[in-house]
Chain A
Amino acid sequence: MSNNSPFLRQPASVQVVMLKVLAALLPGIAVYIHFFGWAVVVQIAIASVTALVAETVMLAIRKKALKPFLTDGSALVTAWLVALTLPPIAPWWLAVLGVLIAIVVAKHLYGGLGQNPFNPAMVAFCALIVAYPQLMSQWPAVGFTDFGAQMQAVFGHRDLDAVVMATPLDALRTALHTPEARATVSGVLGSHATFGNIGGRGWEWIALGYLLGGLWLVQQRVITWHIPAAFLGTLGLASLLASLASPDQYAGPAFHVLTGGAMLGAFFIATDPVSGSTTPRGKLIFAAGLALLTWIIRVFGAYPDGIAFATLLMNICVPLIDMSTQPAVFGHKGKQP
């Protein structure tokens, strides 16, 4: 312990920060449960337990103090994010595997809390989607909330044809990419049973849930406005321009912002401080780049959502962005009255 000034400390801790992040996820999760059933809670539970066990083992191997690190809550945040990006009816071992990749590989092999250059949850997501593309895109239909059947899918034999349905993003891309189909955005969005009014039935409400939690995080000063604003703004702008240019081919901003993982990404994934930019201007650039890559991968890529890959790509650029966006220091700003 130090016996030097300052002797006063604000009662803040990593734990409090992480708990606030978890709390902010709750509204989104509540809506999620409403539309997709309680399976997501089971996934979160599986992920949390795995995370805590993995964290304990890794800390023990690395001979680190258990208590402060285990209770800091960062492993739980990672676990929840992994669970929320998996389909709720994914087999249980997928969540376990994902969390193990996140905690063991992406976090501890890089030096543990505060040292990981990549967002652990997104590393896990990318690894899983590359390894198990099938499982990762088997989303249940909105409103399929039969808990028994879901548990059957998670823990037992998977017979899903009846319940699986493409996510809005998937459906849109598949329809537009099928060579012979002369599909248009409005055609797909209007006709398909998956779609609700804006971002897909249910999805838009979940997004609003995340938005609510995210705004609370901004108000609590856990995150700043830069990343969410730049992310959503850029994503909206890119899709707006594209849809203006060719409304048949590209979906508009409302759809992109409210579907898939956009809102979760904007407030909870891109804002991971460890692997993201930290300077105000850097955050704007980081989030804008992230949004642009997300949009590109969504529209032109083959994966259901682009956020995960985009995050990892932008994570690589963080040191460069931060270095070149250092804010001007007091007195070195040039203008003086």
Chain B
Amino acid sequence: MRPLFGFTGGVKPASHKTESNQGGIVVAPLPPVLTVPLRQNAGLASRPLVQAGDRVLKGQAIAGPGGSISVAIHAPTSGTVRGIETHPIPHPSGLLAPCVVIEADGEDRWIERTPVDPYALPVEELRTRLRDAGVVGLGGAAFPSFVKTQHGPTQRIETLILNGAECEPFITCDDLLMRTQAGQILDGAAVLAHIAGAQRIVVGIEDNKPEAVAAMTAAAQRAGLLVEVVAVPTRYPAGGEKQLIRVLTGIEVPFGKLPPDYGVQCFNVATAYATARALLHGEPMISRLVTVTGNVERPGNFEVRIGTPIADLLKLAEPKADTDRNLMGGPMMGFALPTLDAPVIKATNCILAGSKAMFPAPGPEMPCIRCGSCARACPMDLQPFEMYWFSRAKILGKAQEYHLFDCIECGCCTYVCPSRIPLVDYFRFAKSEIRAREKENEAADAARQRYEFRLEREEREKQEKAAKLAAKAAETKAKLAQAGDADDKKALIAAAVARAQEQKAEEKPGVE
């Protein structure tokens, strides 16, 4: 048994897992219209490959990678592309973004699927296939997985950590997946480990999921794989990537570094499953498991196609009448959906219906009494009240000095604050403000350079002109000298006038 390291801080909110993890997995019906956003992953948005009127098959690429950190996107069913339209996407801003809208033809006809033997192909080829199968991290951030299997010359990946902790209250989709697809998850993990060059696989699962631990352990034994399945103590946010790495290996990955700097890499269990589907079955990422729970009559887990309107999905779970908000993600780190028109995307792990009774409005915000509860709860060992103080006063540089960017926005500090200060809101504000200012500064620097370059060029042109004029003047003088002294003065004046006019004309090009 491997020794566990734990992490400081953390909180233990009621887990509310049993509501949704009792039943099996329900396959959500095919909606008539699917809206597939072009931007679903962290990094760059994908580049569309289809136009209005195109016929597409299920699993056909409708968008290709839009940059080095980007993946392909696929049609979730067969049908006709209605067009590339701006449409609400699940995002806290409620802004619209371009989406490929597909009218389903109801046949749900697959494109030809080509499973591969991953161990017979070069690793680079596998990465490309992962990218072209649209595999991204399914734990929430949706970072392209093929990128995570790479590592720089100074980095290495020895241990592959499979994250099945699922520490957020209410969410159970990973739990269900581990119970039902343990074998596939481990197959996928083995492929990921092969691509990344890792020798060991360690699976971390919170110990409030004994069935999942048992299923994964049994599958590991069956497959004869060298996989360690470890039950980690249940404490939010044990499923945070940094926290899980720390719990399992004792390594702390600071802000600005990546796990491969320390010889580890972390994938969500659902990502490993998606990898198996993509490479071993040739099925790109077109659906995922989503927990629908909270203030609903029939909570459960659904296999949902990417692009399904969230409203349709929610209906399957029959939300109660007093539902007053719907979150994407869990109650600690999720966000309120501005509209249910938005579709399910690759990052959608949970739709959580909430009511006033479930999430009572916290009491009035009071001044910080510096009680330090937030610092004790912070899993990143930060001093949230100091960061809050400076973020609130908009002294952003100071907030940064207190390691604002190390904050993982887990919400533990806000959860415990007796003054009910929405600390994380201030941190999110401060972070995005700092990022925006950095961008502005970059733009200003670029503008300064271009401006200075232009000034230099103008200066140079002026000098060139002056030199030209001087040469001309010398020429005239020489001519005059040759012509004799008779009309000397007159000629000189005439030449000067001509020069002045010439100069004037040159200075104001194109004004006439």
* A residues with CB within 8 A of B: 1-10, 12-14, 16-17, 65, 68-69, 72, 74, 112-115, 221, 224, 273-274, 276, 278-279, 326-333, 336-337
Contacts and interface: CB of A to CB of B under 8 A. Distances in A.
Contact of B418 (A14, A112, A327, A336): A14
Given A7-B359, A278-B385, A329-B403, 4 more contacts: A5-B411, A12-B418, A114-B368, A330-B242
B422 interface: yes
B92 A4 contact: yes
**Most chain B CB neighbours (cut-off 10 Å) among A6, A113, A115:** A6
B366 A72 contact: yes
Interface of B: 7-8, 11, 13, 92, 169, 242, 246, 249-255, 257, 262, 325, 327, 329, 331-336, 354, 359, 361-364, 366-373, 375-376, 379-383, 385, 402-403, 406, 409, 411-412, 414-420, 422, 424-425, 428
A68 B366 contact: yes
Nearest to B352: A7
A326 B403 CA distance: 11
A3 B325 contact: yes
A274 B370 contact: yes
Contacts of A16: 418
Given A6-B333, A7-B354, A114-B370, A333 B418 contact: no
A326 B424 contact: no
B332 A8 contact: yes
A16 B363 CA distance: 13
A320 to B, nearest CB: 14
A329 B381 contact: yes
B254 A329 contact: yes
Contact of A114 (B7, B13, B367, B379): B367
A17 B366 contact: no
A330 B424 contact: no
B367 A112 contact: yes
- The B interface, classified by DSSP as helix, strand, loop or mixed, is loop
A278 B332 CA distance: 26
Contacts of B379: 330
Contacts of A330: 7-8, 242, 246, 252, 254, 379-382, 406
Nearest to A337: B250
Contact of A17 (B257, B325, B418): B418
A8 B242 CA distance: 22
A2 B262 CA distance: 38
A41 to B, nearest CB: 27
- 10 closest cross-chain pairs (CB), A and B: A331-B254, A6-B411, A114-B367, A331-B252, A330-B380, A337-B250, A7-B359, A12-B418, A2-B422, A7-B331
Contacts of B368: 114
9 contacts: A3-B336, A6-B411, A7-B354, A12-B418, A13-B418, A276-B370, A279-B375, A331-B255, A331-B406
A188 B428 CA distance: 63
Contacts of A279: 375, 383
A68 B364 contact: yes
A152 to B, nearest CB: 40
A14 to B, nearest CB: 5
A336 B376 CA distance: 22
A113 B369 CA distance: 7
A209 to B, nearest CB: 24
Contacts of A14: 366, 369, 418-419
A329 B9 CA distance: 12
A327 B246 CA distance: 18
B372 A273 contact: yes
B372 A5 contact: no
**Most chain B CB neighbours (cut-off 10 Å) among A4, A74, A114, A221:** A4
A8 B257 contact: no
A116 B414 CA distance: 23
B424 A4 contact: yes
Contact of B415 (A4, A6, A327): A6
Contacts of A274: 369-370
Contacts of B253: 331
A175 B169 CA distance: 66
